[in-house]
């Protein structure tokens, strides 16, 4: 009985692999986002942070990192940059000296309103090459896969759990 042949070691196998396609698509998505939003000088991550702070004013950095599935260590520098641009401010929490609460500044809220159309354009452009039916199918499968794989990457808290203490979460 012959042993099962090894798959050929070839770059073409990489091109069809899920990991390659996810990496490449992420690359493309960021590139399109930056292009559409270049007038605002905001990265995708900074945008996500602004939205999350807008949705949950007074959130702290640890919970924010859970809400946008973003590494806690890196988030510090992201917030610093948003602070430097005067989009975000941090206030000490009265009942816990370790925590700094995050709020949008007036400028941050204004930028958020203005950037939304550009972000919508970027999101649309990412899927533009597909037919409408295919777009829906892809987004459905991606949402499902991300949700079911949520535990696979180290995110300290599930978003819902992270928000329990903030009163209502959504």
Q: Give which of a copy of itself, DNA, none residue 78 binds (C-beta under 5 to 8 Å, depending on kind).
A: DNA
Whole-Å CA distances, 154 to 13, 32, 65: 28, 27, 11
102, burial (CB in 10 Å: exposed 0-12, middle 13-18, buried 19+):
buried
Is 127:141 a contact under the CB 8 Å cutoff?
no
In this structure, what DSSP letter does residue 152 have? G
Report the first-to-last Cα separation within the chain, whole angstroms: 59
How many residues lie near DNA (CB under 7 A)?
Answer: 31
Residue given tokens 């692999």 in the structure block? 17
The reply on whether position 89 binds DNA by CB under 7 A is no
150 binds DNA (CB under 7 A): no
Taking the C-alpha atoms of residue 17 and residue 3, their distance in angstroms, rounded to an integer, is: 24
Assess 63 for contact with DNA (CB under 7 A). Answer: yes
Choose from a copy of itself, DNA, none: what does 55 bind? Cβ within 5-8 Å by kind. a copy of itself
130 binds a copy of itself (CB under 8 A): yes
| Phi–psi pair at 129, nearest 5 degrees | -65, -15
Which CB atom, from 25 or from 96, has the smaller least distance to a copy of itself?
A: 25
User: Interface with a copy of itself by CB under 8 A: which residues?
Assistant: 6-7, 9-33, 44, 48, 51-52, 54-56, 67-69, 112-113, 116, 119-120, 122-123, 125-127, 129-130, 134, 137-139, 141-146, 148-150, 152-154, 170
User: Interface with DNA by CB under 7 A: which residues?
Assistant: 23, 26-27, 30-31, 43-46, 60-63, 70-74, 76-79, 81, 95-100, 153-154
């Amino acid at each position: 009985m012959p042993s099962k042949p090894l798959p050929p070691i070839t770059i073409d196998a990489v091109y069809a692999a899920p990991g390659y396609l996810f990496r490449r698509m992420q690359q493309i998505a960021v590139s399109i986002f930056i292009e559409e939003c270049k007038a605002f000088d905001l990265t995708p991550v900074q945008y996500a942070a602004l939205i999350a702070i807008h949705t949950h004013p007074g959130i702290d950095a640890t919970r924010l990192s859970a809400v946008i599935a973003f590494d806690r260590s890196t988030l510090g520098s992201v917030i610093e940059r948003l602070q430097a641009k005067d989009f975000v401010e941090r206030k000490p929490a009265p009942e816990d000296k370790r925590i700094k609460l995050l709020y949008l500044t007036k400028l941050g809220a204004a930028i958020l309103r203005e950037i939304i159309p550009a972000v919508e354009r970027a999101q649309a452009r990412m899927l533009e090459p597909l037919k409408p039916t295919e777009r829906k199918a892809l987004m459905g499968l991606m949402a499902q896969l991300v949700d079911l794989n949520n535990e696979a990457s180290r995110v300290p808290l599930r978003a819902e759990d992270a928000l329990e203490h903030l009163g209502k979460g959504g």
